[in-house]
Structure 1
Amino acid sequence: MPTPAQVRAGAALWAVAAEALAAGVVAGGAVAQAELLRAAHTARLAGLPRAEAAALRVVRGLRAARERRAGQRLADLAAAFSELLRTAALLASGTGGPGLTGGGRRAYGAGGGLRVHGLCREPVLTATGYGGVVTHLLGADGSRYTLSDVRPGGLARARGAGAASVALGGAALDHAGLARGGLRITGATVSADGRLGAGRGVRAVPAPGAAWDEEPLAALFARPAAEAVRELLAGDAEPGLLGCDVQVVGAAGEHLLVRELRADAPLLRLRPAHPHPELAHTANLRRLAGHPGLAVRVLGRPDPDRAATLSPLAVGPVPGAEYTLRLPPEWRDRADLGYDRLQGSHFPEGGAPAGPVADGGPGPDAVADSPLWRVRRLLETGVAGGRRAVAETGRGPEPLAAYGPLRRAGFATAADLAGALVAEAGRRPRDAFGRLAESSSEGYAWAWLATSAHLEAAHRSLVAASWA
């Protein structure tokens, strides 16, 4: 539970964030930014690193928007405001959990003895100049773990780290070997999100790995993708990895269209996990697109913002399939799409076997084509122009007509919340003498946050439904 000092810091941060939201980018100048920075500093002194980081993201977003920097998106600033208001509201109410009140450094707890199997490697390349690799691992009990090696260095380090030595307990193994092998670890330290630590007491020795069609790895590919996606998108954290067997349909720009090898499965879109041309993701997807009908086992991360979209990290042959990948034995039935490059010899000779091959392009996009864009535009209008801009949207001859498509599509709650936000934005109370007075920003901030939270939940539900 938050301490009294943390509750006061959360309440101060909420008040400042509400004022900044009501002002919007047009009035979010030096004064508003200074108030946010002061509240962020107070949060830091109170031991609230997550709240401080959320406030700093909003300040950076306001500066970038006011300076019209390239690449700045209102959607990103709206997401930053939503995170800041949600965090501050939980702290101010005294209900913030360990995720909000924990220390700034990642906490590691004792994990005891572990036996982990490698799944795949993923290159990491950030906009701030960091590069490296994350190797995904699976425990004997099905628990997910990661071992990361990310440092300043950019692209060169992201490419080279895939073959760098594993810095864990003196294990004589590199990340390429670990992704296809395993480790026995004693005295393991593990963070809450499954990251393995390299403390003094940690000891690790290489161990034989498991193939994707052997337990415990085979369980990742046993469930229908739609069922796994619903579970992965249910939480607030970034979605984890899921596996599925698919059949290649063809290319759609830089993306690859596939269909799951199940009855009545929808068309899925595979997009590069990282589009940088010096990494192998895009080139590998292009090679796969040149073999329609190919059966492929895919391990990747579902995209929480796009309908039926998966960012694949590794591929392999489908057990028992005739027309599938032919990978070298040393690759252990998997190719890491960010590091390994598929060649002609890795594909079967000849064309696809006779039989029905999935065809047709993608159907209507339930996410992009839904009328929820009206709610998103309203929220972004508030971020850009403040509460006055939101109030102006309700001054037309038929202000509620804009939400008719939402109601007809079944999004009645979204329509009600959007209408309540517009009404609150235009509300001007009067004092005892009947004179107009400035309304509080708190009610407007609550209305904006409620609309934003509902939009996010509805969006995730549509994404999960697109996989069914």
Structure 2
Amino acid sequence: MNLPAVAAEVTAEAVAALPARLAKRLDAVVEQAGAWPVSGDGGVITVRADDRTIVTLSTPVVAAGDAVCSCLLAPRCLHRAAVLSRAPVLAAGSEVTAGGHAVQAAIGSAEPRADAEAETSREASRASAGPPPAEPGSTGHPTAAPGSTGSPSDPAQPGAATPLDDSRDSRTSAAESTSAAPGGQRRGNSGEPVLAGAPQVRPGARTPAGAIADVRPPVTEAQRLAAAGLVTAASAVLATGIPGAGAVAQAELLRAVHQARAVRLFAPAAAAVRVVEHLRAARRDDPAFRLAVLTDDLREVLVSCHRVTSGDASAAGVARRAYGPVGDLRLHGIFCEPVRAATGHAGAVTYLADAGGRIWVVSDVKPADPAAAVSAAHTSVELGEARLSHHDLARGGLLAVNAQASATGRLSHGRARQAVSVPGAGWFDTPLDMLWQVVPAAQVERWLTAAALPEQERPASYDLAFLDGTIVGADRRGLLLSTEHAGTLAVTAALDDPALPHVTNLRLLATHAAGHPVRFAGRFLDTRRVAGLAFAARWLPSRHGGHADLGTVRLTRADMPGALPIPPSSAAEPPAPAPLHLLRHHLERVVSAGRPALLTGVAGDAHRLTAAHLGGAAAFLTALGSAGMRRTRDVFGRLDPHDVEVLAQAWLTAAIYEQAAARETIRAAWAGASSGD
């Protein structure tokens, strides 16, 4: 049984109350607490530390009195602090269901749900992909899915621009926002950019979706102080790395999160919560942990706080995502994928498309054991009168009346919705076929444009790749796909969890379907590399319903057509990664090991970057190395705490440069492949 969500301030206060001698032992006890049996009875969760010690949690844990321990040292005891340090962080604005579980209320939606649930699948599938190719300060807005006829300014479409100023959505739990917003871009209440020339709405007026217009006030001194507190806590994590970011450091970050939420800095607090969740996953050796994701989250904390302290009120975010009416929808299932994230969320997500090619998402992801991802695709999705599993919905159709959706295309679902199941369409039939008619370079441009936005504003399908090609061989973690417009690509596993069939299915395809054409749906990762999510082929047996979801269906040898001879020239290896990865490597090393990671290797890699004509990257790496070596002392011989700030500033500068440069490198690589270079 899982532990209930705990308010950030409750955990922070419990750890701060420990005597110094107990605080030194906290990390060891937190590790032991993972083996303590957990049981529940209604809204009361009990954790048995030993035969005589029981920690009792009243869900949701929003006050100190909701967590009590039976030992003599309570409440200043290790048992209570350890249990609270292992529990997930309660999302901002959460409410309590009849069962005592905390959920995130969605404005205008009949279906309260944590905003993190709609995003964790993307996070998990970017394993080892490096940074999201976004660039703070760039402009652009999420586009419709490839082939969509919907206009970005059409208020009836998800992702439509709403003529409001300075209000944006924010994810506020374990999988919250990760990217800095484009500088100077005005944003509407839906979180989407306001298009040039769009009519303005006065404060208090109603938008087409029924939301009330709002003008964000300027940044207050309290918000600046809260942002500075987050920077201090995040900088300490950078200085010590994962080994030093134990329960005490995490509690300091959670204290800063509480202070940030109190002054409505929802987006920075959201990113900081994710940092805490990933630090916990790293320290318990969770296989779902990804250093690249933690690196991106730390960058987002520092970037968003810098924007707040600079007076950018739009960086504060809002607490909840708005759902509004989008009319009647006739949808066709595309595919579904399992979700297993280091943040403790698991479930499944199904993607559907309407007649215009716009992609919508039905997400059922929640705090759960990682094993829940294995069977999540076969659990029922409540969509009005329709009772379909994710697996069946991805192969069928849906007629939704008076549908509700967020600006990013996430459909509200539940018993209150009006929907019935109808026949769907195959990948080679209209309207789904249009998704594969867009050339890869245009799809990459759509991906990179949306990636330049804060993550909570990106369309749910912004990074999906739709590729036709021929399997030409095996890759280290998947297969090689030869395409007409993008050359040879590596298709890797979206999740390398051995309990899920991604890797097995890709290896089977590479071995026994080589030489055969296939149609893939995946997720862009980096230079000519995608994560495989599903595929269809003319030779695929009909029992799969037109396509196979690589993460939910286990293929067999009987499903394969048999390998064909491959011309040697067709199986060329993907190009070597750009030397920019050297800078990214050191950024991740600092997150992993802290300041000591910069003691070696910096000078040599800076020289390699210079030799590759990446002078900017070399300069930023050199500055980062110098900041890591800097150790000054005051007149009393004590280490100067400002050295931590200097290191964080140098790290953030290098991270922003690398993020922008990676984006352009990826764009150039895909464009070169499309032109035949």
Preserved CA contact (<8 Å) 2:580 2:658: no
Q: How does 1:154-303 map to 2 (within 5 A)?
A: 154=369, 157-198=372-413, 202-234=417-449, 235-236=451-452, 237=455, 240-260=463-483, 262=484, 265-289=486-510, 290-303=512-525
Amino acid at match of 1:448: W
2:530 match: 310
Preserved CA contact (<8 Å) 1:427 1:439: no
Preserved CA contact (<8 Å) 1:114 1:185: yes
Matched, 1:102 2:318: yes
C-alpha separation between the residues in 1 aligned to 2:242 and 2:368? 34
C-alpha separation between the residues in 2 aligned to 1:424 and 1:59? 24
C-alpha separation between the residues in 2 aligned to 1:270 and 1:30? 38
Q: Which of 54, 68, 74 is the equivalent residue of 2:271?
A: 54
- Is 229-238 or 152-161 further displaced after alignment? 152-161
Matched, 1:144 2:359: yes
Q: CA deviation at 1:169?
A: 1.8
Q: CA deviation at 1:244?
A: 1.0
Amino acid at match of 1:226: A
Q: CA deviation at 1:294?
A: 0.7
Give secondary structure in 1 for the equivalent of 2:494: coil
Give secondary structure in 1 for the equivalent of 2:386: coil
1:325 match: 539
> Any idea what the Cα deviations from partners look like across 1:198-219, whole Å, max 9, x if unmatched?
2665211223322222333122
Give secondary structure in 1 for the equivalent of 2:653: helix
Cα 1:34/1:341, change in 2 over 3 Å? closer
Matched, 1:87 2:304: yes
Cα 1:283/1:202, change in 2 over 3 Å? same
Cα 1:148/1:35, change in 2 over 3 Å? closer
Amino acid at match of 1:296: V
Give secondary structure in 2 for the equivalent of 1:97: helix
Give secondary structure in 2 for the equivalent of 1:248: strand
> Any idea what the Cα deviations from partners look like across 1:329-371, whole Å, max 9, x if unmatched?
x6453222223344455444x764x89576435144224xx25
Cα 1:137/1:404, change in 2 over 3 Å? same
Matched, 1:12 2:229: yes
> Any idea what the Cα deviations from partners look like across 1:74-127, whole Å, max 9, x if unmatched?
6555434212111211222232437x4211x44322222222211011122344
Give me the CA root mean square deviation. 3.8
Give secondary structure in 2 for the equivalent of 1:462: helix
Amino acid at match of 1:452: A
> Any idea what the Cα deviations from partners look like across 1:54-86, whole Å, max 9, x if unmatched?
334445666787x79676776555434212111
Q: CA deviation at 1:17?
A: 3.2
Amino acid at match of 1:461: E
C-alpha separation between the residues in 2 aligned to 1:437 and 1:152? 41
Cα 1:97/1:186, change in 2 over 3 Å? farther
Ranges in structure 2 where 5+ consecutive residues have no aligned partner: 1-215
Give secondary structure in 2 for the equivalent of 1:148: strand
Matched, 1:36 2:253: yes
1:373 match: 582
Cα 1:414/1:167, change in 2 over 3 Å? same
TM-score, normalised via structure 2 length: 0.57
Cα 1:164/1:466, change in 2 over 3 Å? same
Q: CA deviation at 1:151?
A: 4.3
1:320 match: none
C-alpha separation between the residues in 1 aligned to 2:386 and 2:646? 56
2:613 match: 410
Cα 1:325/1:102, change in 2 over 3 Å? same
Amino acid at match of 1:283: T
Q: Identify the structure with the greater helix proportion.
A: 1
Give secondary structure in 2 for the equivalent of 1:166: strand
Cα 1:362/1:109, change in 2 over 3 Å? same
C-alpha separation between the residues in 2 aligned to 1:274 and 1:443? 36
Cα 1:243/1:29, change in 2 over 3 Å? closer
Q: CA deviation at 1:183?
A: 1.4
Cα 1:64/1:174, change in 2 over 3 Å? closer
Number of residue pairs the alignment of both structures matches: 442
Ranges in structure 1 where 5+ consecutive residues have no aligned partner: 318-323
1:321 match: none
Give secondary structure in 2 for the equivalent of 1:299: strand
C-alpha separation between the residues in 2 aligned to 1:74 and 1:242? 24
C-alpha separation between the residues in 1 aligned to 2:388 and 2:246? 52
Q: Which of 568, 571, 595 is the equivalent residue of 1:360?
A: 571
Amino acid at match of 2:272: A
> Any idea what the Cα deviations from partners look like across 1:6-37, whole Å, max 9, x if unmatched?
34422332344345545656876777555433
TM-score, normalised via structure 1 length: 0.79
2:665 match: 462
